[in-house]
A = this chain, B = another copy of it.
Amino acid sequence: MTRVEQAERTPQQERSIRTRRRILECAGTLFDRRGYSGTTVEDIAKEAAVTRGALYHHFRHKQYIAAAILEEQFEGMVIPPQRVRMQELVDAGYLLAYGLQNDAIQRGAARLTMEQGTDPIDRARAMQLWVEFAVSILFEAQKNGEVRPGVDVKRAGRTLVVSFTGAQNMSQALTDRRDLYEYITDIWRYSLPGVVNDDVMGQLTFDPARGAQIAGNRMALAS
Residues of A participating in the B interface, judged by any CB pair closer than 8 Å: 33-35, 38, 111, 113-118, 123-124, 127-128, 151, 155-156, 158-167, 169-170, 172-174, 182-183, 186-187, 189-195
Contact = CB atoms under 8 A, between A and B. Distances in A.
B163 A191 contact: yes
Nearest to A193: B194
A149 to B, nearest CB: 13
A163 B163 contact: yes
B115 A115 contact: yes
A89 B164 CA distance: 20
Contacts of A190: 151, 155-156, 159-160, 191, 194-195
A172 to B, nearest CB: 6
Among A156, A160, A166, A182, max chain B CB count under 10 A is at A166
A166 B111 CA distance: 13
Contacts of A191: 159, 163, 190-191, 194
